[in-house]
Structure 1
Amino acid sequence: MYKEEGASIIGAAMEVHRTLGCGFLEKVYQEALEIALKSRCIPTEREKLIYITYKGIPLAQPYKADFVCHNDIILELKAVSKLDDVHRAQIVNYLKASGYQVGYLFNFGETRLKFERFINQKHRY
């Protein structure tokens, strides 16, 4: 599911990490990744608001996705020394809440870019 699109997104993230290295704040990588994604003609929305419901009731507090690409792929960026289960739980919950199909968790905070791919097992709401 979305393997070609995912490969292009990963390539853009690798380009950003190769150019900037580690040590910057997440917002720096977010801005650079937006440039890299657009230069590859990847349809993307930065900081897209995703509204969440609880028992069918819309919550006032939306989730702000770092990126949504191809209208169905969430990108969550981190710039931490190491990814942990809290970061993984975050992207899994975002996929469940949004109904999007695929998510990538990127960590620019290590000497090598780390990323993980997640699939939403539930159908869209």
Structure 2
Amino acid sequence: MVCCCYGSLLSSNWEEASVTEIIYPELSYVVQGIYMDVYRELQPGLREELYEEAMTRDLERERLSLDRQKPFPVFYKDTQVGLYYPDLIVADRILLELKAQPELTPLHVAQVISYLKVTGYKLGILMNFGGDWFEYRRIPNYVSDKVSIAPPEVPLRDDDGWLYPQLIHDLLGALYEVHRTLGPGFLHHVYRRATWAELQRRRRPVASVKRIEVTYRGELIGHQECRLLVVDDKVLVAAVALGSINEAERRKFKMYLKRLELQIGLLANFHDVSLQPEVIRVSKRNNEREN
């Protein structure tokens, strides 16, 4: 596993966001007051959608223009790779991101930074209804310009089972570039399409695999839906956004490798503030034995 993390940068920027000059001070004050009213009245323990509904009603009582789940195109460089639907946009100025979690984390802040990049708004407000007390963070858009991820320093060697060290090295660079550009917070397909676009930019032959054949005793019995990429007819790539990668996910990825008759792949999880792609191999003998 290779890891690249900008948690330290994010922590310092989070602190800076909390002490910087307030953007839209009057509107922010109204939003904060409504948040505190909703928190006091409803208390923690409810679904996030209920807090959103309560916030919406109070914002409308203040006669503020409001957009709920307004779609914004997500671009990876010059390619649209998906849509993002923010919780609330107030007065076409402030993006509101609502959480109902035990506490806010750097990941939540990173997600808002990603969303500000997409929408172009100057200010995001992150508010939590699930904690023991008020948690309210103003996150100005210029913070996102200070977050960067250095390219991974990946040694070129095949004694760790990489099989195609130069190709794997290049693919890792592409995956880190996607994570650096988009940040966390989006759905699987956004990262998969962005990975496709980045590989095309690098002139790497890439094919999309949407389903695989399943045979039993040499006979086709059906198909398994999947969303995978095969690069240079050699390496399988799965771009996902999961809370964590567990052993079941690894077993499934190995199953895809075997059924596609490939020996090595990259399982890349874009969910967190750090990208930790895993290089996974299956032996050629196992493939031959199962065919």
Tell me, yes or no, whether TM beats 0.5.
yes
**Residue in 2 that maps onto 1:26:** 48
Q: Distance in 1 between the 2:25 and 2:65 partners?
A: 15
The TM-score normalised by the length of structure 1 is: 0.92
Aligned partners of 1:106 and 1:114 also within 8 Å: yes
Equivalent residue letter for 2:140: I
Equivalent residue letter for 2:27: E
Equivalent residue letter for 1:42: L
The TM-score normalised by the length of structure 2 is: 0.41
Deviating 4+ runs (over 6 angstroms):
none
**Residue in 1 that maps onto 2:80:** 58
1:18 aligns to what SS in structure 2? helix
1:97 aligns to what SS in structure 2? helix
Aligned partners of 1:45 and 1:68 also within 8 Å: yes
- Does residue 37 of structure 1 match 2:59? yes
* Higher relative contact order structure (alpha carbons within 8 Å, sequence separation ≥ 6): 1
> Where does the alignment leave 5 or more consecutive residues of structure 2 unmatched?
1-22, 146-291
Q: Distance in 2 between the 1:12 and 1:42 partners?
A: 12
- Residue 14 of structure 1 and its aligned partner are, at CA, apart by 1.0
- Residue 46 of structure 1 and its aligned partner are, at CA, apart by 1.0
Equivalent residue letter for 1:68: I
**Residue in 2 that maps onto 1:16:** 38
**Residue in 2 that maps onto 1:117:** 138
- Residue 113 of structure 1 and its aligned partner are, at CA, apart by 2.2
- Does residue 99 of structure 1 match 2:120? yes
**Identity score, percent:** 34
Equivalent residue letter for 1:13: Y
- Residue 87 of structure 1 and its aligned partner are, at CA, apart by 0.4
**Residue in 2 that maps onto 1:90:** 111
Could you give the per-residue CA deviations for residues 9-42 of structure 1, whole angstroms, max 9, x where no partner exists?
1111111111111110101101111001111112
RMSD (CA atoms): 1.4
Larger Rg: 2
Number of aligned residue pairs: give it.
122
1:75 aligns to what SS in structure 2? strand
- Residue 80 of structure 1 and its aligned partner are, at CA, apart by 0.3
